[in-house]
Amino acid sequence: DNTLNGIILGASDYNRLESNTANLNNFGIFLDSSSLFNVVSENTANHNDIDGIHGEGCDYNEFINNICNNNDGDGIYIVGCDHTLVSGNTAFNNSLAGINLISEVNMTLLNNNANNNKENGIELFNIDQSVVEGNNAHDNNWDGFRIQNGCRYNIINDNIARYNNISGFYLFSNTDNNLFYENTASYNNEHGIYLE
Protein backbone atom coordinates (compact mmCIF):
# COMPACT_ATOMS: atom_id res chain seq x y z
CA ASP A 1 0.00 0.00 0.00
CA ASN A 2 2.38 2.67 -1.32
CA THR A 3 1.60 6.16 -2.61
CA LEU A 4 3.57 5.62 -5.84
CA ASN A 5 4.57 2.23 -7.27
CA GLY A 6 4.75 -1.17 -5.66
CA ILE A 7 7.82 -2.35 -7.62
CA ILE A 8 9.75 -0.40 -10.27
CA LEU A 9 12.57 -1.51 -12.56
CA GLY A 10 14.26 1.52 -14.09
CA ALA A 11 16.95 0.86 -16.74
CA SER A 12 17.55 -2.47 -15.04
CA ASP A 13 18.51 -5.58 -17.05
CA TYR A 14 18.60 -9.38 -16.57
CA ASN A 15 16.51 -9.56 -13.39
CA ARG A 16 13.93 -12.08 -12.28
CA LEU A 17 10.98 -10.56 -10.43
CA GLU A 18 9.05 -13.50 -9.03
CA SER A 19 6.31 -14.30 -6.48
CA ASN A 20 5.83 -10.76 -5.19
CA THR A 21 2.65 -8.99 -4.15
CA ALA A 22 2.11 -5.42 -5.35
CA ASN A 23 -1.41 -4.39 -4.36
CA LEU A 24 -2.99 -1.01 -3.54
CA ASN A 25 -0.36 1.18 -5.21
CA ASN A 26 -0.35 3.74 -8.01
CA PHE A 27 1.15 1.19 -10.45
CA GLY A 28 1.61 -2.32 -9.13
CA ILE A 29 4.73 -3.26 -11.13
CA PHE A 30 6.38 -0.71 -13.44
CA LEU A 31 9.15 -1.43 -15.97
CA ASP A 32 10.70 1.80 -17.18
CA SER A 33 12.48 2.55 -20.44
CA SER A 34 15.55 0.50 -21.28
CA SER A 35 14.83 -2.30 -18.80
CA LEU A 36 15.83 -5.29 -20.91
CA PHE A 37 15.81 -9.10 -20.63
CA ASN A 38 13.83 -9.30 -17.38
CA VAL A 39 11.41 -12.04 -16.32
CA VAL A 40 8.33 -10.92 -14.38
CA SER A 41 6.53 -14.05 -13.19
CA GLU A 42 4.09 -15.40 -10.60
CA ASN A 43 3.38 -11.95 -9.17
CA THR A 44 0.10 -10.53 -7.90
CA ALA A 45 -0.77 -6.92 -8.76
CA ASN A 46 -4.35 -6.18 -7.74
CA HIS A 47 -6.40 -3.13 -6.69
CA ASN A 48 -3.90 -0.56 -7.97
CA ASP A 49 -4.92 3.00 -8.87
CA ILE A 50 -3.66 2.70 -12.46
CA ASP A 51 -2.29 -0.52 -14.02
CA GLY A 52 -1.44 -3.81 -12.39
CA ILE A 53 1.66 -4.27 -14.58
CA HIS A 54 2.94 -1.40 -16.74
CA GLY A 55 5.83 -1.76 -19.21
CA GLU A 56 7.02 1.20 -21.24
CA GLY A 57 9.81 1.23 -23.84
CA CYS A 58 11.44 -1.92 -22.47
CA ASP A 59 12.31 -4.71 -24.94
CA TYR A 60 13.00 -8.44 -24.57
CA ASN A 61 11.04 -8.94 -21.34
CA GLU A 62 8.80 -11.82 -20.29
CA PHE A 63 5.58 -11.46 -18.29
CA ILE A 64 4.49 -14.93 -17.21
CA ASN A 65 1.73 -16.27 -14.92
CA ASN A 66 0.94 -13.01 -13.17
CA ILE A 67 -2.42 -12.11 -11.62
CA CYS A 68 -3.62 -8.56 -12.35
CA ASN A 69 -7.19 -8.08 -11.19
CA ASN A 70 -9.41 -5.21 -10.04
CA ASN A 71 -7.09 -2.39 -11.12
CA ASP A 72 -8.44 1.07 -11.95
CA GLY A 73 -6.57 1.14 -15.28
CA ASP A 74 -5.55 -1.91 -17.32
CA GLY A 75 -4.60 -5.23 -15.83
CA ILE A 76 -1.48 -5.36 -18.01
CA TYR A 77 -0.42 -2.37 -20.13
CA ILE A 78 2.65 -2.66 -22.37
CA VAL A 79 3.63 0.08 -24.81
CA GLY A 80 6.62 0.28 -27.15
CA CYS A 81 8.18 -2.96 -25.89
CA ASP A 82 9.37 -5.14 -28.79
CA HIS A 83 10.26 -8.85 -28.61
CA THR A 84 8.13 -9.40 -25.51
CA LEU A 85 6.39 -12.53 -24.19
CA VAL A 86 3.08 -12.19 -22.35
CA SER A 87 2.00 -15.68 -21.30
CA GLY A 88 -0.32 -17.36 -18.82
CA ASN A 89 -1.49 -14.18 -17.12
CA THR A 90 -4.87 -13.52 -15.53
CA ALA A 91 -6.50 -10.10 -15.90
CA PHE A 92 -10.03 -9.90 -14.49
CA ASN A 93 -12.34 -7.07 -13.43
CA ASN A 94 -10.13 -4.16 -14.45
CA SER A 95 -11.62 -0.72 -15.13
CA LEU A 96 -10.13 -0.50 -18.63
CA ALA A 97 -8.79 -3.49 -20.61
CA GLY A 98 -7.56 -6.75 -19.22
CA ILE A 99 -4.44 -6.72 -21.42
CA ASN A 100 -3.54 -3.70 -23.56
CA LEU A 101 -0.59 -3.88 -26.00
CA ILE A 102 0.42 -0.80 -28.00
CA SER A 103 3.01 -0.14 -30.74
CA GLU A 104 5.12 -3.27 -30.65
CA VAL A 105 6.84 -5.71 -33.00
CA ASN A 106 7.46 -9.42 -32.44
CA MET A 107 5.20 -9.87 -29.44
CA THR A 108 3.98 -13.27 -28.28
CA LEU A 109 0.64 -13.21 -26.46
CA LEU A 110 -0.01 -16.77 -25.34
CA ASN A 111 -2.56 -18.54 -23.11
CA ASN A 112 -3.78 -15.51 -21.16
CA ASN A 113 -7.21 -15.04 -19.58
CA ALA A 114 -8.87 -11.61 -19.72
CA ASN A 115 -12.41 -11.72 -18.39
CA ASN A 116 -15.02 -9.40 -16.88
CA ASN A 117 -13.18 -6.19 -17.71
CA LYS A 118 -15.07 -2.91 -18.11
CA GLU A 119 -13.69 -2.29 -21.61
CA ASN A 120 -12.00 -4.90 -23.84
CA GLY A 121 -10.57 -8.19 -22.73
CA ILE A 122 -7.47 -7.99 -24.94
CA GLU A 123 -6.68 -4.86 -26.94
CA LEU A 124 -4.01 -4.67 -29.66
CA PHE A 125 -3.07 -1.28 -31.13
CA ASN A 126 -0.42 -0.95 -33.86
CA ILE A 127 1.04 -4.43 -33.26
CA ASP A 128 3.10 -5.99 -36.09
CA GLN A 129 4.61 -9.41 -36.82
CA SER A 130 3.35 -10.94 -33.59
CA VAL A 131 1.60 -14.11 -32.43
CA VAL A 132 -1.69 -14.09 -30.50
CA GLU A 133 -2.53 -17.69 -29.61
CA GLY A 134 -4.60 -19.63 -27.10
CA ASN A 135 -6.04 -16.67 -25.20
CA ASN A 136 -9.48 -16.47 -23.59
CA ALA A 137 -11.58 -13.31 -23.33
CA HIS A 138 -15.01 -13.76 -21.76
CA ASP A 139 -17.72 -11.51 -20.32
CA ASN A 140 -16.05 -8.20 -21.10
CA ASN A 141 -18.13 -5.03 -21.37
CA TRP A 142 -16.85 -4.16 -24.86
CA ASP A 143 -15.09 -6.69 -27.13
CA GLY A 144 -13.28 -9.86 -26.23
CA PHE A 145 -10.44 -8.98 -28.64
CA ARG A 146 -10.14 -5.52 -30.18
CA ILE A 147 -7.53 -5.38 -32.96
CA GLN A 148 -7.00 -1.91 -34.39
CA ASN A 149 -4.92 0.95 -35.77
CA GLY A 150 -2.30 -0.65 -37.95
CA CYS A 151 -2.05 -4.20 -36.61
CA ARG A 152 -0.37 -5.99 -39.51
CA TYR A 153 1.29 -9.30 -40.37
CA ASN A 154 0.18 -11.04 -37.17
CA ILE A 155 -0.86 -14.65 -36.56
CA ILE A 156 -4.07 -14.81 -34.51
CA ASN A 157 -5.18 -18.35 -33.80
CA ASP A 158 -6.87 -20.70 -31.32
CA ASN A 159 -8.32 -17.89 -29.22
CA ILE A 160 -11.74 -18.01 -27.55
CA ALA A 161 -14.12 -15.06 -27.09
CA ARG A 162 -17.47 -15.69 -25.42
CA TYR A 163 -20.24 -13.72 -23.73
CA ASN A 164 -18.78 -10.30 -24.50
CA ASN A 165 -21.13 -7.32 -24.63
CA ILE A 166 -20.24 -6.22 -28.18
CA SER A 167 -18.10 -8.52 -30.36
CA GLY A 168 -15.97 -11.54 -29.75
CA PHE A 169 -13.32 -10.25 -32.18
CA TYR A 170 -13.43 -6.73 -33.60
CA LEU A 171 -10.90 -6.05 -36.39
CA PHE A 172 -10.74 -2.42 -37.49
CA SER A 173 -10.48 -1.40 -41.14
CA ASN A 174 -6.75 -0.63 -41.11
CA THR A 175 -5.68 -4.02 -39.77
CA ASP A 176 -4.15 -5.70 -42.82
CA ASN A 177 -2.39 -8.91 -43.80
CA ASN A 178 -3.12 -10.85 -40.62
CA LEU A 179 -3.53 -14.63 -40.55
CA PHE A 180 -6.68 -15.31 -38.52
CA TYR A 181 -7.70 -18.95 -38.05
CA GLU A 182 -9.24 -21.54 -35.69
CA ASN A 183 -10.62 -18.94 -33.31
CA THR A 184 -13.93 -19.39 -31.48
CA ALA A 185 -16.48 -16.63 -30.96
CA SER A 186 -19.79 -17.60 -29.38
CA TYR A 187 -22.61 -16.10 -27.31
CA ASN A 188 -21.44 -12.52 -27.79
CA ASN A 189 -24.14 -9.85 -27.60
CA GLU A 190 -23.66 -8.37 -31.09
CA HIS A 191 -21.07 -10.03 -33.36
CA GLY A 192 -18.91 -13.09 -33.20
CA ILE A 193 -16.22 -11.78 -35.55
CA TYR A 194 -16.56 -8.27 -37.00
CA LEU A 195 -14.27 -6.98 -39.75
CA GLU A 196 -14.75 -3.28 -40.29
Residue-wise pLDDT for 134-165, tens only, equals 999 999 999 999 999 899 999 999 999 999 99
Parent domain of 140:
5-195
CA dihedral for 95, 123, 2, 89, sign (positive or negative): positive
The H or E element that residue 103 is part of is: strand 99-105
Residue-wise pLDDT for 86-107, tens only, equals 999 999 999 999 999 999 999 9
Cβ(97)–Cβ(116) below 8 Å: no
pTM over 0.75: yes
Total tally of structural domains belonging to the chain = 1
Residues near 116 by beta carbon (within 8 Å), at least 6 away in sequence:
92, 93, 138, 139, 140
Cβ(40)–Cβ(31) below 8 Å: yes
Q: What is the CATH number of the domain that holds 80?
A: 2.160.20.10
